[in-house]
A and B are shown apart, each in its own frame.
Chain A
Amino acid sequence: MPDQLLFAMEVTLNGLMAGVMYSLVALGFVLIFKASGVFNYAQGVLALFAALTLVGLQNGQVPFAHVINTIFGTNLHNFGWKLPALLAILLTAGVMVLLAVLIERLVLKHLVSQAPIILFMATIGLAYFLEGLGDVMWGADIKKLDVGLPQGISETIESITDRWFGYGFFIDNLDIVATVVAVILVASLTLFSQYSKQGRALRAVADDHQAALSVGISLRFIWVLVWSIAGFVALVAGIMWGAKSGVQFSLSLIALKALPVLMLGGFTSIPGAIVGGLIIGVGEKLFEFAAGPLVGGATENWFAYVLALLFLVFRPQGLFGERIIERV
């Protein structure tokens, strides 16, 4: 096989893996948008906050150490213990649930029946707040996240492809883990929403708020539930992205990567988030591979948006979004 084709295949595979990572973030958006009609810009910051909390808990950092030291002149930094990864993840999930309750109590409850743009702006405000809170709580330095996920090149795949094509593909182990985790996550979310009582209530709310209220479903509980699930998805995304590129501010920018995925897949569709993520992942990697060198590289910043934009001009509700029917 010609080299170019092999390279392109490798790039495509890597693009698929990157797409899975985008889908992980996009999932959180879709869950919240479906259930409460809130376009949650803070999803990326939630992932950052979750990852920061996880690292902080694992390493036994004292929260708010910087503030406490500044005000009281103490020199606190560390409790001096290390938690096992699993326990830290469970604790962080607990923190995310707590955060969901707080967000519902302090923000969403007061903004019921406001225009969508106002809710959207509120989540941007929330994103600012959480970003500051994460930094104040755990410090702004770049942290290494290590929960025992395999890293580096996958040698099995390299040797297999080497035997088949005479050229070993470079695939990151972490990406493979992320793919497996994403599959499990989507499967369990689907099972949860199809077969559990809460899941059915959740779908009812997503269909029609008022009808759900009238059959006795508590909207506020569902919102807490949805934000908790979104927080959990953010935690998973935070772990994956954090293990990949370190826990730092730029982690929150993955939200911007997930937006074109949403546009492509439709804001209201979970399969759409997955398929959209894969298309965007493959598309931007292939485009960078084919056209990047001609125009100076770094096309990944905008390609996804332009692709989604062009796509939307022909299909305004996205791939799997609900058709918008307008009545006069």
Chain B
Amino acid sequence: MLYREAGDFKTTYGEDGQTFPIRFDRMGYYVTLAVAFGVVPLVINDYWANAVFVPFLIYAIAAIGLNILVGYAGQVSLGTGGFMAVGAYAVYKLMTSFPDVPVLIHVLLAGGVTALVGVLFGLPSLRIKGFYLAVATLAAQFFLVWLFNKVPWFYNYSASGQITVPQSKMLGFYVTGAQTSASAKYLFSLVILVLLAIVARNLTRGAAGRKWMAIRDMDIAAEIIGVNPLKAKLSAFAVSSFFIGVAGALFFAVYLGAAEVTEAFSIQKSFLVLFMVIIGGLGSIFGSFAGAAFLVLLPVFLKNVLVGQLGWPTDLAAHLELMIVGALIVTFLIAEPHGMAQLWRLAKEKLRLWPFPH
């Protein structure tokens, strides 16, 4: 009844090519945006910001980035943690070297730096495929983390080897540092996420995205119809790394505040983001959001139930959490290997007919 294309006539090319051609989708999108910008910042407190919203927004950026590489271009990468570290250290060096420049510019520049590093580590993808490539990207993960740990220039020769974010303001509000309010953190991450998501959505349905998908589906055939594999693969690595670098920069500057590279950007991060992409749905921007939300909320939920409700010791709860997360991932892959995006697609098919299925 609500969700249908019938009767929704398009009279201009602009309308025909819009991101959400179905009215119900479009309304849903605007309502979500209105709630996210208008309601949540007013009611958010420190617990919700730090436990749920800010990590969700930041992981969503990383998941979109990885989804571009894995889901759209078909190049499996396990180096996400390393690339996030590049973003974090780039934004740290930029913020400490040029304190007067607005932090938004630093974050985007950090993404740019990560894109360069990503292209460098993407070069082997021209020769190596599949699992060999996945394992090869681990080289990026281990090498980059080692580099940031061992070369003191990256952490400004601080005694602890940690990096700590300096305070900075935008439009008169603190956005990084200890005095940042919950809503400022949230809004800053949200603005960047929305901008990047729009960019990603339009890249993936444009010429660039079609080239990536052609390479993913069959690289030789793609080459024959005129897609340059060098450009397509490296541009996928660049765009993906840009997103992941921005996510890493935000993760350090806005969310953590202080970071130690071997802890904050370990290989577990790489797996976490990859899980988000797979559970959310490969090759879907909506899926990246869904996957990030699921894997950010799940530990919070489990912890509240096991420790808060049942009163179990935290170490036992942590181990049980590992088991439950593992079992859920396996169950999910068995039940719906195409992820939550596929569930949503099926739900939409049902909605088209609802409530008169015949």
Contacts and interface: CB of A to CB of B under 8 A. Distances in A.
Do A and B interact? yes
Contacts of A126: 326, 330
B138 A128 contact: no
Contacts of B323: 128-129, 132-133, 136
Interface stretch (B28-36, B101-109, B200-208, B312-320): B312-320
A315 B168 CA distance: 49
Interface residues of A, number: 54
A113 to B, nearest CB: 10
Interface in A124-165: 124-133, 135-136, 140
A106 B129 CA distance: 30
A316 B275 contact: no
A107 B330 contact: yes
A130 B61 CA distance: 30
Mostly, the B contact residues are helix
B187 interface: no
* Residue of A70, A114, A128, A267 most packed against chain B (CB within 10 A): A128
B131 interface: yes
A316 B326 contact: no
A313 interface: yes
Given A118-B337, A131-B322, A309 B329 contact: no
Given A135-B322, A136-B320, A328-B221, A128 B329 contact: yes
B319 A121 contact: no
A111 B322 contact: no
B66 to A, nearest CB: 13
B297 interface: no
Interface in B262-312: 267, 271, 274-275, 278, 282, 312
Contacts of B220: 326, 328
B267 A256 contact: yes
A116 B131 contact: yes
Interface of B: 70, 76, 124, 127-132, 134-136, 138-139, 142-143, 145-146, 149-151, 220-221, 224, 267, 271, 274-275, 278, 282, 312-313, 315-316, 319-330, 333-334, 337
17 contacts: A107-B330, A110-B334, A117-B70, A118-B337, A121-B333, A122-B333, A122-B334, A124-B271, A125-B329, A126-B326, A129-B330, A140-B319, A267-B131, A296-B150, A306-B139, A309-B139, A313-B128
